[in-house]
């Protein structure tokens, strides 16, 4: 998901996007979502934990004039344990026309969906290893996202040339907003096929591989197939698209299709963005490892909302703006999620920093690879200036997506920027080889990934800590205890007495923190090991010193706190002045 931290900047981007897409007015009378549908990642029902979601065959007919969809979902489950019912999450506001299990109709009185968690009893218990196929036909108006992508739902807009321009963006509330699923990070279906019917000559850009397109009676049906997608990554993207395409010759010997679905009046700008695909792909494959979905495509589609990491068809709405670093930050951030989010998926929303923190760190890392150290450190400094440090990045308990992304209830934007900076500090601490090997263990489950020798996987924070221990042979739990499991930053205290400079780490709760510190004294740089949290170095009477001269350490910096307070005070005063003038 795009960075939630820079809300003012993102609001400006959204206004720019809105100027190019006349959005259909939100239906203020749309029925409210139940608490179950509103939330994503709620604990799974026992029946959901007892099955493997093998296949989803989804058919959608999209009627832009009515803001309506007709759906036909066929879902195949394999039992891990005996189970008496099938349970899926599904917005109860849809009209359900029929329900079948293994081809036999289930009368309306036998299934129930009071709160958005639909329960369908089985005629006979499903034994371990047995399969059941659930088919649900439905229709209605999907929930409208009033502020996509930060709230979930559909965006019904008009392209600048007047045609319907439609997108789904459901990470914030989950897949159950428009198709029956198990709305939990650990419930990825192994295979999803989509048949999307739209008015001709509109184009449907989908996940995975395009199997074909049929056209009849003024309607087009696009057939797409993908494997192991995040449930929220399944998306509908419909518009008057043109396609830019090329093939990328990977350093791993395979060929990866590149596809960009763009609005037909923006060809020149689209070609400029498309030129960024290959170097970004080269960067990730060199630094992290093989593109996980090389047998499908690297796909991007232009959308009437800012963006979202929809597997193999990332949503892009940044209006072709390059940052001061000379690249499109949104394209790079969402593409990072193909590794951190889609290839490796967090086991719980509490581990969302594994998606967003790594995804955010890939931006300064890409700048270092592409531009050099100046861009790397400048990017990191902008991140450092935003940290809140009010809630731990990892709570150590199951969390709702909404709370994790909340600055009030959870770590909020710290899962992006604080997590990114702690990865920078970890890299400096353990060295490049160990850092990238640990990252590959997280992403692929091995340090030598090649196309065909890995599968999508789930992981949590403990898995990454274990990966660091495995590749270094040392226990760095102390590092993660301070940076992840409590909110405050360690404070490096320096005291100069006579010819000695004394250093001491001050850590909340007096936790162990043997973080080495570099100190410049005069024209020499000394490394203090700080094994017991303290260290000292000789300093001459007229010698100056600098703590951490290469900016390796994530630590308390009072001047940044002062900057944040001053910025907040100025913004409040400006808002008050505008209100008084208005």
How far apart (Å, rounded) are the C-alpha atoms in residues 279 and 301? Answer: 18
Range of weakest confidence among 14-18, 319-323, 360-364, 482-486: 14-18
Contact 412, 405 (CB under 8 A): yes
The 3-state DSSP class for residue 294 equals coil
Mean pLDDT (whole number) for 183-204: 97
Per-residue pLDDT tens for 174-185? 999 999 999 999
Q: What is the pLDDT of residue 245?
A: 98
Instruction: Report, in this order, helix, strand and coil percent for the chain, each rounded to 5.
Output: 30, 30, 40
Residues with Cβ within 8 Å of residue 102, at least 6 apart in sequence: 132, 133
What's the mean pLDDT in 116-134?
97
Least confident of 13-22, 304-313, 497-506, 528-537: 13-22
Q: What percent of the chain has pLDDT over 70?
A: 95
Residues whose CB is less than 8 angstroms from the CB of residue 380 and which lie 6 or more positions away in sequence, other chains included: 364, 420, 421, 424, 551
Q: Would you state the pLDDT for residue 329?
A: 95
- The answer to whether 95 touches 70, Cβ cutoff 8 Å, is no
| Res 570: pLDDT | 95
- Higher pLDDT, residue 501 or 22: 501
Burial 104-141 (b: 16+ CB within 10 A, else e): eebeeeebebeebbbbbebeeebeeeeebbbbbbbebb
**Topology (CATH level 3) of domain 491-553:** Immunoglobulin-like (2.60.40)
Residue 207 pLDDT greater than 80, yes or no: yes
Burial grade of 535 (CB within 10 A; 0-12, 13-18, 19 or more): buried
Please give the Cα distance from 487 to 393 (Å, whole number): 7
Q: Which of 221, 214, 238, 402 is nearest to 313 (CA)?
A: 238
Give percent of the chain above pLDDT 90: 92
Please, what's the b/e burial string for 437-476 (b: 16 or more CB within 10 A of its CB; e: otherwise)? bbbbbbbbbebebebeebebeebbbebbbbbbeebbeeeb
Q: Kindly report whether the peptide bond that precedes residue 327 is cis, defined as omega within 30 degrees of 0.
A: no
Question: CA dihedral defined by 269, 272, 277, 279, rounded to 10 degrees?
Answer: -160
Whether the per-residue pLDDT at 9 is higher than 80: the answer is: no
Determine the pLDDT at residue 23.
43
Q: Which of 14-18, 94-98, 554-558 has the weakest average pLDDT?
A: 14-18
Q: How far is CA 387 from CA 8, 35, 487, 488, in A?
A: 16, 31, 10, 10
Average pLDDT over residues 525-530: 98
Arithmetic mean of pLDDT over the chain: 94
Cβ neighbours for 73, distance < 8 A, ≥ 6 positions apart: 56, 57, 58, 59, 134, 135, 136, 137, 138, 179, 180
Question: What does 145-210 look like in DSSP terms, one character per residue?
Answer: -TTTTTS-EEEEEE-TTSSEEEEEE-TTT-GGGTS-B--STT---SEEEEEEEEETT-EE--SSEE
pLDDT digits (tens, 9 = 90+) for 373-414: 999 999 999 999 999 999 999 999 999 888 999 999 999 999
Instruction: Using alpha carbons, select from 385, 391, 380 the residue that is nearest to residue 422.
Output: 380
What are the residues facing 220 on neighbouring strands? 198, 215
User: pLDDT grade, residue 428 (50/70/90)?
Assistant: very high
Tell me which residue of 194, 113, 145 sits closest to 24, measured CA to CA.
145
Query: Where is 417: in which H helix or E strand?
Result: helix 417-430
Q: What does the DSSP 8-state code read for residue 413?
A: G
Instruction: Please report how the helices 329-336 and 277-287 are oriented relative to each other, as an axis angle in degrees rounded to 10.
Output: 40
State how far Cα 555 lies from the chain centre: 26
* C-alpha pair distances (Å), 75 with each of 135, 137, 457, 521, 558: 6, 11, 21, 66, 55
The domain covering 7-318 belongs, at the CATH homologous superfamily level, to tricorn interacting facor f3 domain (2.60.40.1730)
State residue 5's pLDDT score. Answer: 39
Residue-level pLDDT at 28? 55
Beta bridge partners of 137: 72, 98
Topology match between the domains 7-318 and 491-553: yes
What is the 3-class SS of 527-564, one letter each residue? EECCCCCEEEEECCCCCCEEECCCCCCCCCCHHHHHHH
Task: Give the pLDDT of residue 579.
Answer: 87
Of 233-237, 274-278, 384-388, 399-403, the poorest mean pLDDT is in: 399-403
pLDDT of 25 reads 46
Above 90 in pLDDT, residue 18?
no
Residue-wise pLDDT for 138-181, tens only, equals 999 999 998 999 889 999 999 999 999 999 999 989 999 999 99
Residues 286, 439 contacting (CB under 8 angstroms): no
> Residue 502, Cα to own-chain centre: how many angstroms?
42
Q: What's the CA gap between 434 and 473, in Å, rounded?
A: 10
What's domain 344-483's superfamily in CATH?
Neutral Protease Domain 2 (1.10.390.10)
- The CA distance from 336 to 423, in Å, is 15
The predicted structure's pLDDT at residue 22: 42
Find how far residue 338's CA is from the centre of its chain.
9
Structure tokens, 148: 């996509």
pLDDT at 186: 93
Predicted local confidence at residue 582, as pLDDT: 74
Residue 111 backbone phi and psi in degrees, to 5: -100, 160
Each residue's pLDDT tens digit, 33-87: 999 999 999 999 999 999 999 999 999 999 999 999 999 999 999 999 999 999 9
Domain chopping of the chain, boundaries: 7-318, 344-483, 491-553, 554-582
Q: What is the pLDDT of residues 101-112, one digit of tens each?
A: 999 999 999 999
Largest CA distance in the chain: 89
- pLDDT for 3 equals 58
């Amino acid at each position: 998901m795009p960075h939630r931290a820079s809300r003012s900047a993102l609001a400006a981007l959204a206004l720019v996007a809105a100027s190019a897409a006349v959005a259909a007015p939100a239906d203020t009378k749309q029925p409210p979502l139940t608490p179950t549908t509103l939330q994503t990642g709620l604990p799974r029902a026992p029946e959901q934990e007892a099955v493997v979601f093998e296949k989803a065959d989804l058919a959608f007919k999209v009627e832009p004039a009515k803001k309506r969809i007709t759906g036909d979902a066929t879902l195949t489950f394999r039992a891990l344990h005996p189970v008496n019912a099938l349970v899926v999450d599904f917005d109860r506001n849809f009209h359900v026309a029929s329900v079948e299990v293994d081809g036999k109709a289930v009368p309306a009185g036998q299934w129930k969906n009071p709160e958005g968690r639909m329960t369908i009893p089985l005629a006979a218990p499903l034994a371990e290893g047995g399969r059941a196929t659930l088919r649900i036909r439905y229709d209605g108006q999907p929930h409208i996202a009033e502020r996509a992508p930060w709230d979930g739902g559909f965006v019904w807009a008009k392209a600048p040339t007047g045609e319907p321009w439609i997108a789904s963006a459901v990470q914030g509330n989950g897949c159950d907003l428009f198709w029956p699923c198990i709305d939990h990070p650990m419930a990825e279906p192994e295979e999803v096929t989509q048949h999307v019917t739209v008015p001709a000559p509109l184009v449907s850009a989908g996940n995975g591989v395009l199997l074909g397109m049929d056209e009849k009676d003024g309607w087009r049906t696009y057939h797409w197939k993908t494997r192991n997608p995040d449930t929220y990554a399944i998306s509908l993207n419909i518009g008057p698209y043109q396609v830019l395409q090329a093939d990328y010759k990977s350093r791993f010997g395979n060929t990866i299709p590149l596809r960009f679905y763009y609005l037909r009046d923006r060809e020149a700008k689209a070609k400029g963005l498309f030129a960024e695909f290959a170097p970004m792909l080269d960067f990730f494959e060199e630094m992290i490892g093989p593109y996980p979905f090389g047998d499908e495509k690297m796909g991007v589609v232009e959308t009437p909302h800012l963006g979202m990491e929809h597997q193999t068809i990332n949503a892009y709405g940044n209006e072709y703006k390059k940052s001061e670093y000379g690249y499109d930050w949104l394209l790079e951030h969402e593409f990072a999620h193909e590794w951190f989010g889609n290839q490796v998926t967090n086991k719980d929303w509490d581990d969302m920093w594994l998606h967003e923190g790594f995804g955010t760190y890939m931006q300064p890392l890409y700048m270092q690879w592409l531009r050099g150290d100046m861009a790397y450190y400048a990017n990191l400094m902008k991140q450092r200036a935003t940290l809140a440090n009010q809630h731990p990045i990892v709570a150590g308990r199951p969390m709702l997506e909404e709370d994790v992304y909340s600055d009030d209830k959870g770590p909020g934007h710290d899962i992006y920027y604080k997590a990114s900076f702690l990865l920078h500090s970890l890299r400096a601490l353990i060295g490049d080889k160990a850092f990238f090997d640990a990252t590959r263990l997280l992403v692929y489950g091995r340090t030598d990934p090649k196309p065909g020798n890995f599968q999508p996987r789930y992981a949590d924070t403990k898995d990454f800590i274990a990966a660091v221990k495995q590749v270094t042979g040392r226990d760095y739990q102390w590092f993660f205890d301070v940076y992840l499991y409590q909110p405050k930053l360690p404070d490096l205290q320096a005291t100069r007495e006579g010819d000695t400079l004394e250093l001491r780490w001050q850590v909340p709760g007096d936790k162990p923190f043997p973080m080495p510190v570099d100190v410049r004294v005069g024209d020499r740089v000394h490394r203090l090991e700080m094994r017991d949290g303290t260290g000292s170095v000789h300093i001459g009477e007229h010698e100056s010193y600098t703590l951490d001269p290469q900016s390796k350490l994530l630590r308390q910096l009072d001047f940044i706190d002062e900057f944040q307070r001053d910025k907040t005070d100025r913004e409040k005063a400006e808002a008050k002045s505008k209100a008084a003038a208005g």
